[in-house]
Amino acid sequence: MIKLANIQQFIQKVKTAKNINSKELRLTISDAEQLAFELAELLSHELILTNKVSELQNEITLGIEVLNDGGKF
């Protein structure tokens, strides 16, 4: 399971900064690195799922083509 704690912490920092009308948001290198790794993991997982969906769609399409072949008269 993908951990989203660093992304959620970043979102909370953005909300807090916006609420106090801050013009900038500072992150430590460690926080930025953790956020980057978490985002990369999330995007990688998303790509894997997208590929699986695409494969399933292709299988369904092939199955429909076979079922729609009514033969010849």
Q: Which two tokens stand for residue 19?
A: 């609420």
Cβ-contact 1, 41 below 8 angstroms: no
Higher pLDDT, 7 or 72: 7
pLDDT at 68 over 80: no
The pLDDT of residue 4 is 93
pLDDT at 8 over 90: yes
pLDDT at 24 over 90: yes
Q: Which two tokens stand for residue 38?
A: 């978490």
Q: Which two tokens stand for residue 29?
A: 């290198």
Question: pLDDT (tens digit, 9 = 90+) per residue, 52-62?
Answer: 999 999 988 88
**How much is the pTM?**
0.75
